[in-house]
Chain A
């Protein structure tokens, strides 16, 4: 238990000299200068390259794999099948104990005997150049004995569907039910019951840097160094050690610059694992970089859901009960180690829970298919939960004749209603839904937009406004993975040390992929110690160097990693003051540190620089008597009070629909986000913006389109539509701040909220635009054709 903050320290946080400032990222400099180092930029002596031959069919027995010709091709060093690697790599079984009843089959790194999805890796070809390995790949012969594939959610739910893993009995991976027990009675006595079915499309991350890894096994050191584009280095260390039969200490994981991740790179992929196994076998470094075509059929897909939602209201608009049925279609395996069930599980945990009803029933059915493997992607589950919930609130508003803002004001949990527990069992610490809603209405000048909407409708121009309220899980505790037996760390550690010259080095187990985490840690450390921001250097992404940590995901880096930094830096400051007391012969309580100087706390007189303390501590300890200076401090932090630290916010979308063509033009977005203490406003705002656009993608453009046989039809950059600059709007971001009391910094997470709320905001804006035509849409993505069909134009 850490000592309570001194008055001085409290004032320091309040003063917010560094914390809260929109400081530019020092590590962005190398990114603009062309000096970034992504995995593919790393050159090692005797480096080999691996290329994978992947299944072209979604379901088949592998009758014959002919590799002899490929093995003899120019530049080829080795060829491996799944069977060849089976002794080196243990199969992955991704189940967790707290997902009761979940079933999953063991997944080999490379397919053995059968393939279960188009894109599954089958053969690894190792050569001196990628192009030579690809030449050899053309010489590989594979005899597929094709089997019927389960190629969609509907197909998987059909009882007559082929069972993908007969030993599991059926295609159900996981089901979950929450029932407060009173839902039927509540619906019977509701004055108005509304029900709709929502469709969310399967889509994928499209990280600009393809998944990349170098496995570098040293036979002399008997150590495997893994350079990987990833968000969770310690998790990779643990998983790879266990799956490759190595001691944990024999594996070092290094993450350099990561070219986009968003959750895609938080998983263990068979091809990346195989790359490292191959390095062990060949005792040479081996590199794998996924190209664009293979990324579409091997990166995890996400969010393939059909949701039926029902809400019961009294005539005055009070929400009384909610029922939700969620069906989702994952791939043929549960992805290791986080599983493929977290998304659906989160949906039933959080859907509609920011409203005040007490009757809730949710069921979720998660089924295997022969489509691409599937798991957590930015805002895991939230876009679906928020999309359906907020879509229903507007449906209800229309049915009840209420303004969408009014129906929310009636039903959102009051800002003073916390802490509380939701019908689904979620514990909320503190939220500000009403304040956010009020602020967003003001920021967007909602009355003026409504007036303009009315006027434009007279002229046949149809604009729509959608305002939504939402929550987001951040800073998860061990309740998220740990309790299920996953060796995924919810805690993070930070070492803060002062060097002889007075500069500060921060080592943290959470890293960054462009969010600015390192900058935030430097701000926190600078504030806590009393040095200029430029005096702090941050090191992350190396399991040999940093304390054990969870990495960056579920918007935890600032809240958890930042807190560990704060605690360690505070402690260092105390140690420096203790040292200063000896050196200056003054009481420690009379001293403070500011701008790298020890100063008199009352007069602000500069007494001695930190560099002098460093000189003495490291080079003249003989002058300190019995006192031992400790200028390197490590502290850990983990959320304990609450299983998750929920944030809340409001998002609004303004758009225009061309009712002749069905094309939707996004005019503007507004966000009011409450993520507690803001450590760097510009970085937070940019996370919100980036997340918003990532949420716009599958709402209007993105979808992994499979044919009925299980082949991906649009797995390339021409046919899979990602949002580009011209169609994207400007986005105004504002904040309310309700710090969490479970940490001293009070920072919650912010990286995913935009993605969680954008689909709902667009859905409601679209249906608002089309209201004069008495038509609605709930089937995403909202393509022009779907709009026109809804309008009856075709």
Chain B
């Protein structure tokens, strides 16, 4: 099939649009729905700037075809902001200055939220590991780790300290 209409849930709203097979999910969301938080950083699947959530799982949007969004539930930062789902994480990022240029931030927030969801205990090393697939050039990562750790504590998740 070539271009075809797909239907999916986008940030809580049922939508439909023409999807061209050659277009990846990020370009599709940006062009068809004028969303700006899903963005392109490398198109190799390495940098994590394109991270979006599909059917509750974080994925690399640049490695997914727009066609593959058919029948799925897609969440981007715009939707999460409107729904207030990560308000504490966003607040922590601003307070701790875990965001500088902001280009990696969509991916960092979604990955951070993914990490904190359904988790009972975390450690700084585990936070670093979970975020190890998201490239940031500005912060040096420590502020981001701090922000995620702070939110973990506020959510009642146990933070274990490693020996130095």
A, B assembled together: yes
- Which of A256-264, A331-339, A406-414 contacts the other chain? A256-264
- In this complex, what residue of A is CB-closest to B137? A260
Interface centre among B30, B36, B93, B129 (most CB of A within 10 A): B36
Question: A32 contacts B94, CB within 8 Å?
Answer: yes
Question: A717 contacts B42, CB within 8 Å?
Answer: yes
A34-B78, A722-B137 are known contacts. Are A514 and B132 too (CB-CB below 8 A)?
no
- In this complex, what residue of A is CB-closest to B125? A726
Cα A690 to Cα B103 with chains together (Å):
14
A28-B99, A41-B36, A259-B103 are known contacts. Are A718 and B135 too (CB-CB below 8 A)?
no
Question: A33 contacts B132, CB within 8 Å?
Answer: no
Question: A208 contacts B97, CB within 8 Å?
Answer: no
Asked if A37 CB lies within 8 Å of chain B CBs, one says yes
Asked if B144 CB lies within 8 Å of chain A CBs, one says yes
Question: B103 contacts A292, CB within 8 Å?
Answer: no
Question: A689 contacts B43, CB within 8 Å?
Answer: no
Interface residues of B in 14-35 (CB under 8 A from A): 22-23, 30, 34-35
Question: A689 contacts B142, CB within 8 Å?
Answer: yes
Asked if B100 CB lies within 8 Å of chain A CBs, one says yes
Asked if A179 CB lies within 8 Å of chain B CBs, one says no
Q: Which residue of A33, A208, A258, A262 contacts B49 across the interface (Cβ within 8 Å)?
A: A208
Cα A724 to Cα B100 with chains together (Å):
16
Cα A693 to Cα B140 with chains together (Å):
5
- The smallest C-beta distance from A334 to any residue of chain B, in angstroms, reads 26
Question: B94 contacts A682, CB within 8 Å?
Answer: no
Question: B44 contacts A31, CB within 8 Å?
Answer: no
Give the total of B residues in contact with A, Cβ under 8 Å: 55
- The smallest C-beta distance from A465 to any residue of chain B, in angstroms, reads 14
- In this complex, what residue of A is CB-closest to B109? A32
Question: A689 contacts B139, CB within 8 Å?
Answer: yes
**How does the 8 Å CB contact mask read for B30-70 relative to A, with 1 for contact and 0 for none?**
10001111011111101101000000000000000000000
- In this complex, what residue of B is CB-closest to A135? B22
- In this complex, what residue of B is CB-closest to A289? B40
**How does the 8 Å CB contact mask read for A208-236 relative to B, with 1 for contact and 0 for none?**
11000000000000000000000000000
A131-B22, A208-B41, A728-B140 are known contacts. Are A514 and B145 too (CB-CB below 8 A)?
no
Q: Which residue of A37, A257, A730, A731 contacts B101 across the interface (Cβ within 8 Å)?
A: A257
A131-B22, A292-B41 are known contacts. Are A32 and B100 too (CB-CB below 8 A)?
no
A24-B97, A718-B46 are known contacts. Are A724 and B133 too (CB-CB below 8 A)?
yes
Interface residues of B in 74-129 (CB under 8 A from A): 76-78, 80-81, 90, 93-97, 99-106, 109, 124, 128-129
Cα A207 to Cα B138 with chains together (Å):
9
What residues on A are CB-neighbors of B137 within 8 Å?
205-208, 260, 262, 690, 694, 722
Cα A728 to Cα B128 with chains together (Å):
9
Cα A205 to Cα B137 with chains together (Å):
9
Cα A43 to Cα B135 with chains together (Å):
27
Cα A291 to Cα B102 with chains together (Å):
18
**How does the 8 Å CB contact mask read for A15-32 relative to B, with 1 for contact and 0 for none?**
000000000110011111
Asked if A322 CB lies within 8 Å of chain B CBs, one says no
- The smallest C-beta distance from B39 to any residue of chain A, in angstroms, reads 7
Q: Which residue of B36, B109, B139 contacts A35 across the interface (Cβ within 8 Å)?
A: B36
A33-B90, A725-B134, A725-B145 are known contacts. Are A25 and B81 too (CB-CB below 8 A)?
no
**Dominant SS among interface residues on chain B:** loop
Asked if B141 CB lies within 8 Å of chain A CBs, one says yes
Cα A41 to Cα B96 with chains together (Å):
26
What residues on A are CB-neighbors of B135 within 8 Å?
206, 208, 717, 722, 724
Asked if B131 CB lies within 8 Å of chain A CBs, one says yes
- The smallest C-beta distance from A152 to any residue of chain B, in angstroms, reads 27
Question: B144 contacts A725, CB within 8 Å?
Answer: yes
What residues on A are CB-neighbors of B143 within 8 Å?
686, 689
- In this complex, what residue of A is CB-closest to B141? A725
Question: B44 contacts A690, CB within 8 Å?
Answer: no
Cα A355 to Cα B143 with chains together (Å):
34
Question: A692 contacts B140, CB within 8 Å?
Answer: yes
Asked if B151 CB lies within 8 Å of chain A CBs, one says no
Question: A28 contacts B22, CB within 8 Å?
Answer: no
Asked if A683 CB lies within 8 Å of chain B CBs, one says yes
What residues on B are CB-neighbors of A32 within 8 Å?
77, 81, 90, 93-94, 99, 102, 105, 109
Asked if B136 CB lies within 8 Å of chain A CBs, one says yes
- In this complex, what residue of B is CB-closest to A689? B140
Question: A515 contacts B100, CB within 8 Å?
Answer: yes
Asked if A312 CB lies within 8 Å of chain B CBs, one says no
Asked if A606 CB lies within 8 Å of chain B CBs, one says no
What residues on A are CB-neighbors of B44 within 8 Å?
292, 716-718
Cα A261 to Cα B34 with chains together (Å):
25
What residues on B are CB-neighbors of A30 within 8 Å?
102
What residues on B are CB-neighbors of A722 within 8 Å?
135, 137
- In this complex, what residue of A is CB-closest to B107? A208
Asked if A516 CB lies within 8 Å of chain B CBs, one says yes
Question: B94 contacts A29, CB within 8 Å?
Answer: yes
Interface centre among B22, B96, B124 (most CB of A within 10 A): B96
Cα A352 to Cα B104 with chains together (Å):
37
- The smallest C-beta distance from B85 to any residue of chain A, in angstroms, reads 12
Cα A28 to Cα B139 with chains together (Å):
13
- In this complex, what residue of B is CB-closest to A716? B44
A260-B137, A686-B139 are known contacts. Are A37 and B36 too (CB-CB below 8 A)?
yes
Interface centre among B78, B100, B143 (most CB of A within 10 A): B100
Q: Which residue of A37, A209, A514, A725 contacts B128 across the interface (Cβ within 8 Å)?
A: A725
Interface centre among B35, B77, B145 (most CB of A within 10 A): B77
- The smallest C-beta distance from A696 to any residue of chain B, in angstroms, reads 8
Q: Which residue of A33, A208, A683, A690 contacts B140 across the interface (Cβ within 8 Å)?
A: A690
- The smallest C-beta distance from B2 to any residue of chain A, in angstroms, reads 14
What residues on A are CB-neighbors of B132 within 8 Å?
724-726
What residues on B are CB-neighbors of A667 within 8 Å?
164
Asked if A38 CB lies within 8 Å of chain B CBs, one says yes
What residues on A are CB-neighbors of B142 within 8 Å?
689, 728, 730-731
Question: A43 contacts B34, CB within 8 Å?
Answer: yes
Q: Which residue of A36, A716, A724 contacts B102 across the interface (Cβ within 8 Å)?
A: A36
Interface residues of A in 720-734 (CB under 8 A from B): 722, 724-726, 728, 730-731
- The smallest C-beta distance from B43 to any residue of chain A, in angstroms, reads 6
Cα A641 to Cα B42 with chains together (Å):
45
Cα A291 to Cα B80 with chains together (Å):
28
What residues on A are CB-neighbors of B40 within 8 Å?
40, 291
Cα A724 to Cα B111 with chains together (Å):
14
What residues on A are CB-neighbors of B134 within 8 Å?
724-725
A33-B90, A41-B36, A208-B47 are known contacts. Are A726 and B41 too (CB-CB below 8 A)?
no
- The smallest C-beta distance from A477 to any residue of chain B, in angstroms, reads 27
- The smallest C-beta distance from B141 to any residue of chain A, in angstroms, reads 4
Cα A209 to Cα B129 with chains together (Å):
23
Question: A34 contacts B100, CB within 8 Å?
Answer: no
- Can you name 16 A-B residue pairings with CB atoms under 8 Å? A24-B97, A32-B90, A33-B77, A34-B35, A34-B76, A35-B37, A36-B37, A36-B105, A208-B104, A209-B103, A260-B103, A260-B137, A292-B47, A514-B100, A717-B44, A725-B145
Beyond the given pairs A24-B94, A28-B93, A722-B135, 9 more chain A to chain B contacts, judged by CB atoms under 8 angstroms and listed by A's residue number, are: A24-B97, A33-B77, A38-B36, A131-B23, A209-B101, A262-B137, A686-B140, A718-B46, A724-B132
| Cβ-closest 10 pairs across A and B | A31-B102, A34-B37, A514-B100, A259-B103, A34-B77, A514-B101, A693-B140, A717-B46, A726-B132, A689-B140
**Residues in A lying within 8 Å of B, measured CB to CB:** 24-25, 28-38, 40-41, 43, 131, 205-209, 257-262, 291-292, 513-516, 667, 682-683, 686, 689-694, 716-718, 722, 724-726, 728, 730-731, 754
